[in-house]
Amino acid sequence: MASSKRTDQKSIWGHYGCPLVCHHQSPGKPHHKVKQEQSSSSQDTAERIGREAKRRHFQCRVESLDSYEVANLINELLVVFVCATTGQGDPPDNMKMFWRFLFRKNLPPGSLCQLDYAVLGLGDSSYPKFNFVAKKLHKRVLQLGGNPLLPVALGDDQHDLGPDAVIDPWLLALWDKILALYPLPPGLEIISPDVRLPPKYTLHYLDEDSPHPSDGPLQSTVPRAVASELHPFAARMVSNQRVTAESHFQDVRLIEFDVTGSGIT
Ligand SMILES: Cc1cc2nc3c(=O)[nH]c(=O)nc-3n(C[C@H](O)[C@H](O)[C@H](O)COP(=O)(O)O)c2cc1C
């Protein structure tokens, strides 16, 4: 992209604490980050936004707000936060570190002045503090100098059509805004929903007798971090059973892994 904004643009879709990074796939296109939190609605929404970004030729990464290095926010150019409210107007567990950092009193007021951002809230209007976290996040980023792309979206479980009644039109408006700022490169079009995106995961088959990736000489001496998205653990598969009848058209499987030593409980 022509402006410096486009060279490293990100958007964060918070709640469940999950950031998504995306940019147009041609060089110099912006990145977006998506963040999410607690249960799965915000993660699902963040991932949906990630897929929509990919269809618009942005390169994306989705990760939780707490696994995002929040100090890097000052370098981001485009961030979308997806965040739910829990408890009585509280941030979900997996955005608490992010929340604490963002509300530090010593953050300079203009520190996010290069950031274009949007906040999508998931909440329930039967609670007195409806979408409190999304509203507060929106205000705080504004206070730190961020440029809002749209008013905060207030998804509501109480709506007859569920949160999508707000999310769907809000996302249409968001993409209009983003594409006005970062138009599609000449010759590229939005990838139709009928076209399958590349898979998120790839499978690599190993020979039965190949050494296990976790059996290297360092394994016994080097303490490893608890397995996580950032510290993957190569687990041994112990069973792989088909659970649907042979005659059924879907091959659904129960696959079990041995996670001993991964720190996963
Ligand atoms: C225990 C609990 C407390 C909640 N507290 C609030 C609240 O204070 N304000 C609000 O707007 N929504 C509240 N909600 C609704 C959630 O924010 C809403 O269901 C949201 O979609 C959940 O998203 P998630 O699946 O990503 O966690 C609460 C939900 C639960 C289960």
Residue pair 212/236 in contact by the 8 Å Cβ criterion? yes
Rounded to the nearest angstrom, the distance between the alpha carbon of 127 and the centre of ligand 1 is 8
Collapsing DSSP to helix, strand or coil, 117 comes out as strand
> Who wins on pLDDT, 231 or 11?
231
Other beta carbons within 10 angstroms of residue 123's beta carbon come to 25
Quick check: 22 pLDDT over 60?
no
**What residues does each domain of the chain span?**
4-181, 203-265
CA-CA distances (angstroms) from residue 29 to 3, 157, 250? 9, 35, 39
Averaged confidence pLDDT in the chain: 81
Q: Does position 179 have pLDDT exceeding 60, yes or no?
A: yes
The CATH number given to 4-181 is: 3.40.50.360
Tally Cβ neighbours within 10 Å of residue 65.
35
Report percent pLDDT > 70 for the chain: 80
Over residues 68-86, the mean pLDDT reads 90
The residues lining ligand 1, judged by C-beta closer than 6 Å to any ligand atom, are: 15-16, 37-42, 84-89, 92, 122-124, 127, 129-132, 157
Could you give the percent of the chain with pLDDT greater than 90? 51
pTM to 2 decimal places: 0.76
Query: Which of 15-19, 46-50, 191-195, 229-233 is the least confident region?
Result: 15-19
53 near 17, Cβ under 8 Å? no
